[in-house]
């Protein structure tokens, strides 16, 4: 893996699931674009729009982050 997923959370306000291991698994499987979907990460806050937040560091240690909301057509793009 060319980068390290530091944290991934899915939810809104104080209702957030830690989905770090799931995102790491998806990335290791070749996925590079991530969307905020209940089907992938559960539903920690029924009836509310949720967000997916990911932090990652590349080999050089440079830390980046991204966030995407449910129903957004642009996802979080992670590098190889």
Cβ neighbours of 23 (radius 10 Å): 24
Give CA–CA dist 70/49, Å, rounded. 6
Domain count, the chain: 1
DSSP 8-class letter at 52: E
The mean per-residue pLDDT over the stretch 65-74 comes to 96
Closest CA relative to residue 72, chosen from 44, 47, 51: 51
pLDDT of 1 strictly over 60:
no
Q: Which two tokens stand for residue 60?
A: 């050089």
Query: Residue holding tokens 């957004």?
Result: 72
Give CA–CA dist 9/16, Å, rounded. 6
pLDDT at residue 2 in the model = 65
pLDDT in tens, 3-12: 899 999 999 9
Q: Residue 32 is part of which domain span?
A: 3-77
pLDDT in tens, 14-67: 999 999 999 999 999 999 999 999 999 999 999 999 999 999 998 777 899 999
């Amino acid at each position: 893996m060319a980068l390290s997923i530091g944290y991934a959370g899915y939810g809104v306000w104080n209702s957030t699931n830690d989905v770090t291991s799931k995102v790491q698994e998806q990335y290791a499987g070749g996925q590079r674009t991530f969307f905020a979907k209940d089907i992938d990460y559960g539903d920690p806050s029924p009836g509310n729009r949720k967000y997916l937040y990911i932090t990652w560091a590349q080999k050089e240690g440079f830390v980046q982050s991204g966030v995407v909301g449910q129903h957004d057509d642009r996802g979080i793009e992670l590098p190889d």
